[in-house]
């Protein structure tokens, strides 16, 4: 006959809140529930330095090793439990282990501070920090999501640098235009047989350079046209190709530098403060051997 009577429990524990793991129906013939000290708590992270705010609900159980309520808790002694899978009634068809006589309401009360100390030492949450922005990730924000947000925050300074860099290459283009397309002091183009062809080459190069900067503003890798150097190439073509290659390298370097800054993140560990920890309840939890 299964032993489900409270007579297996100490008389002093009758005033202690007790929960029982819900087991498979019907339970195995050797299903034994053993007593654990269990705490349900809430950790409210509200870190001023990082701005991180997050609430964690947790339920932890500790096997009752001895009557020393001041026993130091370690990770290998603790197990996570799901109190939604428990009942206030002893399941039918199971046997209860022995609850030590020293377990009473006072024992549970003295165990609670040790649980708090365990959380202060061992419980943590990991977030990400970008050192360039001195910015921390939000609750639940993945590394990729955080890097993307950092990249968005770099948009303004990157755009300003791109604008300044674009002005540099615009001036270089104007210098080439003045030298090779024969601008007069009045700004009129000299009439020459090759003028139309040279103007077309110049405009296409100017458009490709502008497209590089436009792509960079859209967080796209700038594309470069194929290198078309060849023996006997007109000097204008060679100068424009060289400038286009220089612009591509400069824009790519600028974009890569901001990508690196945005992704220069590291893990940051937060531990709760005493004021962050809130008890919900503590009790004796009866668990099947080897089942968390």
Instruction: Tell me the pLDDT tens digit for each residue of 126-175.
Output: 999 999 999 999 998 999 999 999 999 999 999 999 999 999 999 999 99
Q: Where are the beta strands (DSSP E) in 217-276?
A: 265-270
> What is the full DSSP assignment across 79-134?
EE--GGGEESSPPTT-EE-PPPTT-SHHHHHHHHHHHHHHHHHH--EEEEEETTTT
Short-list 126, 138, 127, 131, CA closest to 263:
131
pLDDT at 230: 66
Order of strands, edge to edge, in the sheet holding 125-130?
135-136, 125-130, 265-270
pLDDT at 260: 95
User: What are the residue ranges spanned by the domains of the chain?
Assistant: 6-124+272-288, 146-265
Q: What is the pLDDT of residues 196-236, one digit of tens each?
A: 778 888 899 999 999 999 999 888 878 766 566 666 678 88
Task: Identify the burial level of 251 via C-beta atoms within 10 angstroms of its C-beta, where 0-12 means exposed, 13-18 middle and 19 or more buried.
Answer: buried
Q: Is the pLDDT at 190 greater than 50, yes or no?
A: no
Which range is least confidently modeled, 25-29, 89-93, 143-147? Answer: 25-29
Q: What is the pLDDT of residues 119-133, one digit of tens each?
A: 999 899 999 999 999
Mean pLDDT value across residues 236-248: 91
* 235 sits in which H/E element: helix 235-263
Q: Is the pLDDT at 186 greater than 60, yes or no?
A: no
Q: Say whether 21 sits in a helix, a strand or coil.
A: strand
Q: Say whether 159 sits in a helix, a strand or coil.
A: helix
146 near 265, Cβ under 8 Å? yes
The secondary structure of residue 14, as a DSSP letter, is G
Short-list 205, 1, 223, 18, CA closest to 104:
18
Q: Which of 61-75, 155-169, 176-190 has the highest mean pLDDT?
A: 155-169
pLDDT at 182: 62
Length of the chain: 292
Q: Is the pLDDT at 8 greater than 60, yes or no?
A: no
Please state, in angstroms and rounded to a whole number, the distance separating the CA atoms of residues 122 and 157. Answer: 40
Quote the pTM value. Answer: 0.70
Rg of the chain over Cα atoms, rounded to whole angstroms, equals: 36
């Amino acid at each position: 006959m299964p032993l489900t009577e409270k007579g297996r429990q100490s008389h002093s524990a009758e005033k202690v809140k007790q929960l029982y793991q819900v087991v498979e129906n019907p339970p195995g013939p050797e299903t034994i529930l053993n007593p654990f000290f269990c705490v349900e708590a809430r950790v409210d992270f509200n870190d001023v330095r990082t701005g991180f705010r997050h609430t964690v609900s947790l339920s932890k159980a500790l096997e009752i090793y001895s009557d020393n309520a001041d026993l130091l808790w370690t990770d290998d002694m603790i197990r996570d439990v799901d109190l939604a899978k428990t009942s206030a009634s002893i399941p039918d068809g199971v046997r209860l282990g022995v609850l030590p006589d020293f377990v009473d309401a006072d024992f549970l009360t003295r165990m609670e501070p040790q649980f708090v100390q365990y959380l202060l030492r061992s419980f943590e949450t990991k977030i990400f920090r970008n050192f360039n922005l001195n910015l921390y990730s939000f609750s639940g924000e993945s590394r990729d999501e955080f890097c993307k947000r950092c990249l968005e925050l770099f948009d303004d300074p990157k755009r300003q640098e791109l604008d300044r860099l674009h002005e540099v290459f615009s001036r270089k283009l104007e210098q080439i235009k003045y030298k090779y397309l024969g601008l007069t002091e009045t700004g009129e183009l000299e009439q020459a047989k090759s003028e139309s062809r040279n103007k077309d080459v110049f405009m296409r190069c100017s458009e490709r350079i502008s497209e590089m900067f436009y792509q960079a503003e859209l967080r796209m890798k700038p594309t470069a046209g194929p290198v078309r150097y060849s023996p006997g190439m007109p000097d204008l073509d060679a100068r424009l190709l060289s400038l286009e290659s220089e612009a591509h390298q400069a824009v790519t370097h600028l974009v890569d530098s901001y990508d690196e800054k945005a992704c220069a993140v590291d893990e940051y560990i937060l531990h709760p403060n005493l004021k962050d920890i809130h008890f919900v309840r503590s009790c004796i939890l009866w668990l099947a051997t080897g089942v968390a």
